[in-house]
Amino acid sequence: MRKLEMEEWEKKYIIKEIKRFDQINTMTRRVYADPAMKGSLEDWSSIGEFKEDPAGHTQKDYALRWSSRIYHAVISILNMSKPNPSPLSKVIKETMASSAHTLSYTYRSLDGLKIDTSDPEIITRDLKKAAIFYGADIVGICKLDRRWIYSHTCNKEVGESDAVEYKPQEIHDGFQYAVVMGFEANYNMLRYLTTQIGGAAQDLASARMTITSALVTAFIRNLGFQAIDCTIDDVAITVPMAMQAGLGDLGRHGQLITPRFGPRVRLSLVITDLPLVTDSPIDFGVTEFCEKCKKCAERCPSEAISHEDRTTEPVNISNSTGALKWPMDAEKCRMYPAKVKHPCDTCVVVCPYNKPDTVFHRSVRWLTDHVRWGDPLYIWADDLLGYGNPKPADNFWEKWKPVRGI
């Protein structure tokens, strides 16, 4: 693995002018803001009926998954730090402010007192430690690249099922840095592919992400500086800034691949005016490996992942343009779980980089970086050893030995 200068990273990925992407074109918004997309399915949720067969979809399995995500949306609704808070969050804020027993949910400045920032390296070190303490597994810092900030935001109006609040988004020049955090999803549980058990692993990582981002935002504010919690696809595109912050590189499936966890991470972003020291982008052979591998494209049940070479051209309006990548068909990807009524993390599970962080797998990752001519052999061995194959969910509850903190 080697560190890249930002000029090297730009040369590898930025081919044309990057125009700020409009949030209304993301699939999370199009399912209710795009009339054509909204009308293509009656129900966009992935909630189905309880089943005893196949295993992994019983009421107990559903309870495991949906309990993991119960506060995911609730905490994001309470996020008042965004430039354009959702209409619902504004109503909640007004209600809480008028309550006789108002909760102390906002930071109250200590007479404008700010922590000493004469040594940004110490501040950066301590901020990263705090982020890990609060729940992050990996943390990186980059300069705030405004090309990745959404040009507009789109949110549902309160009490109007078909109405949206759509407005421009601007972040003032004082915000100069981005804190990018990654949260591991449990390797063993994810292997219960397309079951509620596998979905629970991703949703618990998302819950940890949401809570940690809120805590890191509050921590920075308690240091006397400004911070915006950008979690839940709210303010900016996270993956390119995670790359710039040195957390990983871009895979064929459109997700960040990290050296330690592969693509098995959820990403969050906090932007701030706190002076910090930036990390460097990294290169550890992902692009070259993904060019040969194609396992995620071959196994994707929705056929949403490209088999072709990288390009700057979009598949549809849910792709940003200008950066060299494998564009994913987000329409197919989002529609599939809504049709089959179960989660799908196939691209993550079959990815050869999705392995436990052991000495053996670290050694193989080293080989993919330093002995790149052997990539076809590594891919063959990955298939031979059965990595990426789903685990049967029979007797999951009897066999399951959860480890706290993972």
In order along its 406 residues, the chain shows pLDDT tens digits of 999 999 999 999 999 999 999 999 999 999 999 998 988 888 888 888 887 777 899 999 999 999 998 888 788 788 888 999 888 888 887 877 776 555 555 555 566 789 999 999 999 999 999 999 999 999 999 999 999 999 999 988 887 667 899 999 999 999 999 999 999 999 999 999 999 999 999 999 999 999 999 999 999 999 999 999 998 878 999 999 999 999 999 999 999 999 999 999 999 999 999 999 999 999 999 999 999 999 999 999 999 999 999 999 999 999 999 999 999 999 999 999 999 999 999 999 999 999 998 999 999 999 999 999 999 999 999 999 999 899 999 999 999 999 775 4
Query: Of 237, 38, 271, 234, which is closest to residue 153 (Cα–Cα)?
Result: 234
* Residue 71 pLDDT: 82
Burial 268-302 (b: 16+ CB within 10 A, else e): bbbbbbbebebbbbbbbbbbebbeebbbbbeebeb
pLDDT of residue 292: 96
Closest by Cα among 180, 235, 196, 236 to 65:
196
- The Cα 240–Cα 223 span in angstroms is 27
Q: Is residue 28 part of a domain?
A: yes
| Cβ-contact 269, 236 below 8 angstroms | yes
CB atoms within 10 A of CB 398: 6
CB 238 within 8 A of CB 298: no
Q: How many CB atoms neighbour CB 161 within 10 A?
A: 7
- 12 lies in some domain: yes
pLDDT of residue 142: 98
Judge if the upstream peptide bond of residue 54 is cis by omega within 30 degrees of 0. yes
- How far apart (Å, rounded) are the C-alpha atoms in residues 123 and 135? 19
Residues 6 or more apart whose Cβ sits within 8 Å of residue 172: none
Residue 406 lies in a domain: no
Query: How many domains would you assign to the chain?
Result: 1
230 three-class SS: coil
Q: For 267, which DSSP code? A: E
Residue 245: the pLDDT is: 98
Residue 221, strand partner residues: none
| Inside any domain, residue 353 | yes
pLDDT at 112: 73
Which residue, 260, 272, 257, 217, is CA-closest to 351?
257
CB 143 within 8 A of CB 177: yes
Residue 400 lies in a domain: no
Tokens of residue 99, six digits: 């309550």
Q: What is the pLDDT of residue 45?
A: 85
In a domain, 405, yes or no: no
Indicate the pairing of strand 177-184 with strand 138-143: antiparallel
Please tell me the predicted confidence (pLDDT) of residue 120: 97
223 contacts 68 by C-beta, under 8 angstroms = no
Q: Would you give the DSSP letter of residue 305? A: S
Bridge partners, 168 (sequence order): 152
Task: State residue 405's pLDDT score.
Answer: 54
d(CA 55, CA 396): 9
Contacts of 388 (CB under 8 A, 6+ apart): 295, 299, 349, 350, 351, 352, 354, 382
User: Measured between alpha carbons, how far is 158 from 88 in angstroms, rounded to an integer?
Assistant: 6
Beta strands per DSSP E along 211-319: 227-229, 249-250, 256-257, 265-272, 282-283
Q: How far is CA 34 from the centre of its chain?
A: 23
Task: Tell me the C-alpha to C-alpha distance, in Å, between residue 9 and each of 140, 263, 282, 352, 399.
Answer: 16, 20, 8, 24, 45
The amino acid at 218:
A
- The pLDDT, as a whole number, for residue 104 is 56
| Single-letter code of the amino acid located at 242 | A
The CA R_g of the chain, rounded to the nearest whole Å, is 21
Query: What is 191-211 written as a DSSP string?
Result: TSTTSHHHHHHHHHHHHHHHH
Domain that holds residue 229: 2-95+105-395
Cα distances from 328 to residues 198, 333, 336, in angstroms, run: 22, 8, 13
| 246 is a domain residue | yes
> Any idea how long the chain is?
406
* Within a domain: 403: no
